[in-house]
Structures are given as C-alpha cells and as structure tokens.
Copies of this chain bind each other. A is one copy, B any other.
Amino acid sequence: MARRDAEPDAVHSLNEPPAPTTQPTGVRYVPPDFTAPSLRDAPAARTATIERDGVLPDGFFATTNLPTYVKGADGQWLMPREPRMDGVLVRGADGGWWVREGRRVRTGDAVVVGLAEDGSEGVLVHAHGFVTEAEAAGDFHFMSSQVSREKPIDYGLIARMLVKEKRRGGYVIWVTGPALVHSRARDNLVWFIRNGYVQALLAGNAVAVHDIEAAVVGTTLGMTAEGAPSAGGHAAHMRAINAVRRAGSIAGAVKQGIVRDGIMHACVVEEVPFVLGGSIRDDGPLPDVLTDAVAAQEAMRAHATKATMAVMIATALHSIAVGNMLPAYYEDPQRGLVELPTICVDASEFLVSKLKDRGTHQAVGVVTNAQDFMSILRATVEREVAA
C-alpha cells in the first residue's frame, strides 16, 4: 500500500537511460527508456492556439493522473507541472508544461493536441512505470478482489506511513465526510490535527456544521452521543449555524469562545488550513463555505498539488472530487517519482470501486466504519510513536 519513504535516491534524469528509483515495500519507478527508437524519433508535441477563453481546440490531448512526458521542440521530454486527470497541457512562458482544466485556458494559450498516449505524437503516458516485485503465487487463488470487507486492514502500515510523513515534513491531506462527526470519531480527528498529522482538511459544510453543533449544543443532527434523539434536536444544527453566522466566521466563533472544542476549533488553533466546499444540500451555509463549486475546486486543488499522501474518509462526493485533482504520483527531491498513497475508507466496497472507476486507480480501500477506523488508527499511531 505504502510506496514511499526512507532513503534518498538519485534524482532521475531525463533523456538518459535512467536508473530505476527504489522505493520501500517493493515498489520502484522505472522511467521510460527515451533512447528507444520509437521515443527518440518521435515528433515534438503539436499545439494549437486558444481562440476563446475556456474553449479548447478539437483534438486536444486530455491528461490522466499517470506519469506523463511531453516532448518539446528542443527534443526534451519534460513532465508537466500540477498533473491531474481531465486537464489539458498548456505551454508555460518558460517552455515547460502545465496541466490546466479546460475552463482555465485563455485566448492565446498554446495547448497540446493529439490523441496518442504512446509518445508517437509527442506525449507519453507512462502507465506501467511503477513496478512491484513479481509475485509467483500461481494463477488460481482465492480472495483476489481488490476491495473487500473480508480483507485484513493493515493499520500498522497506515500508521507507519503517517508517522513517516510527519517526520519528513510531508503534506497529508484529509478528506472527510460528516459520518466522521456523527459517529464520534470527532475526538480522534482532533487528536490527529493537534499532533501534526493533518496538513489540510478538505470537506463540506456538513462536517463543520455537525462538529460545531457538537461543540455548541452537544448533539449531531440532534442525536446524542448515545444515538438517541433529543428534545428539539432537529433545530440544533440550525442554532449552531446561526451562532457562527453571528460571529462572522468559524475563526471568529473560536476567538469569541463560542466554539471551544472539536475539529474546526483544532484547525483554527493549530492553524491547519481547511477548505469547506459548498453543496446543493447545505443548510446555512456557514460563512466560511465556498459556495461556488469552481472557487472551491481552486481552493482544494491548491492543497492537492502539494499532497504527499491523502486520507479520504466516508465521503463519496469529496473523495471523488479530490481524486479527480490528485495525481497518482509526486516527485520527491530525494527519491524521484513516488506513488501518492491514497487511502479511502468507507462502509461499503462500492465507494472505493467507484473512486477507482473515476480513475483514482491508486486508491487503497478500507471497508469499515469511520468511527472504528479512527479509533484504531489513532491507537496504532500512538503505539508506533512510542516504539
């Protein structure tokens, strides 16, 4: 599952037969062999000029989240910056390449056109660069599905990854749904925030509303910590929202002592950035919510492009949203290209399969209850740190 950490490694250098980068847990990146005739003789990528803001030329090249190389007029194969799927390749002022969503192209931009992904039109999608040590377990075996509640969850591995990311200054983004707050995993998420395992929190209005309802009223959606309804409980979340609206912002409500604990409180106090993306089902919303979906995407992408690990818990909407923005790898100064560990926790196999079906193939599924996941992961991290 994890693919990266540990010892420094030679930076891979383009245009020469590169040494593979070794990575722990048996995965290493083998760059393309650019001396092979098919690549050596490939043409430079062709571009077309944008004629209208946000409108692409016919035949534009559509990006994936896999390692990609674009051949320039000078014969250099370069990897584009800010890689993500569903974007296009825009030439930068320095001759390098950027991945941009179609809506962000501007009149005059040079955008790569071509459909081939094998380098024959100047763009190479290197789908099989990450190599796992061969297994020789035979052709017929049981339990070969990728995502199943019957498979063991390797909490130790996830815990070690988190601890290593913290130690080496990684950037772990957490993407969470409201089930995390409902089901009292709240205290555990606070613990992860307070202890430096969360570099950004990406969520929606509901996470913050339920969390602040718990802080202000003591319930979530009017349900007590024991799962019972409370008198007048259906209004509790509205009272929480109103309290923050009166304070002007979540940070304001924290500063004024209205919100004294919980996830949002911890983010404010620990200065962990959060992005709350608006949605059609939001009550309120809270003043901090970016109600415009495009603005919310921009804000989340700013974190996704820095990510060295992603933990997605109990949210279909935001997991797929962030999955869309997230490359399947990142470049590390010491270790070269490493796969971007992406953990997706949900109560059903369906979400993880759906996430993979939307292209986030690297996601590792954990099928369990969010409350229990957080509880065991925290205990495992504590043990790992103590060890």
Contacts and interface: CB of A to CB of B under 8 A. Distances in A.
Interface of A: 52, 54-56, 60, 62, 64-66, 85-86, 101-103, 115, 117, 125, 127-128, 135-145, 147-154, 179, 182-184, 204, 221-223, 225-235, 237-239, 241-242, 245-246, 277-285, 289, 291-294, 296-297, 300, 316-318, 320-321, 324, 347-350, 353-354, 356-359, 361, 367-369, 371-373, 375-376, 379
B139 A128 contact: yes
A283 B324 contact: yes
A139 B117 CA distance: 9
A317 B279 contact: yes
Residue among A221, A235, A246 with max Cβ neighbours from chain B (10 Å): A235
Residue among A317, A357, A367, A376 with max Cβ neighbours from chain B (10 Å): A357
Given A151-B227, A183-B151, A142 B357 contact: yes
A136 B229 CA distance: 9
A135 B228 contact: yes
Nearest to A143: B223
11 contacts: A60-B242, A102-B284, A135-B228, A141-B230, A142-B229, A148-B354, A278-B294, A291-B293, A316-B316, A369-B372, A379-B379
Identical chains bound together, number: 4
B143 A222 contact: yes
Contact of A292 (B144, B284, B291, B379): B291
Please classify the interface of chain A as helix (H, G, I), strand (E, B), loop, or mixed, using the class held by over half of its residues. Answer: loop
A99 to B, nearest CB: 13
A369 B280 contact: no
B280 A245 contact: no
Contact of A86 (B246, B283, B356): B283
Given A60-B238, A141-B233, A153-B372, 15 more contacts: A115-B235, A138-B229, A138-B231, A142-B233, A143-B222, A145-B356, A149-B179, A151-B183, A152-B223, A278-B280, A279-B279, A280-B293, A281-B324, A291-B294, A293-B293
Contacts of A221: 142-143, 357-358
Contacts of A239: 62
A353 B357 contact: no
B139 A226 contact: no
A336 to B, nearest CB: 21
Contacts of A142: 221-223, 229, 233-234, 357-359
Contacts of A285: 103, 293-294
Nearest to A151: B227
A367 B347 contact: yes
A109 to B, nearest CB: 14
Contacts of A350: 148-149, 348-349
A30 to B, nearest CB: 15
A137 B231 contact: yes
A318 B238 CA distance: 20
Contact of A234 (B62, B234, B238, B320): B62
A224 to B, nearest CB: 9
Given A86-B283, A316-B316, A357 B144 contact: yes
B140 A66 contact: yes
Contacts of A66: 139-140
Contacts of A229: 135, 137-138, 141-144
Closest 8 CB pairs of A and B: A62-B235, A127-B139, A368-B369, A278-B293, A281-B321, A372-B372, A64-B140, A277-B280
A373 B372 contact: yes
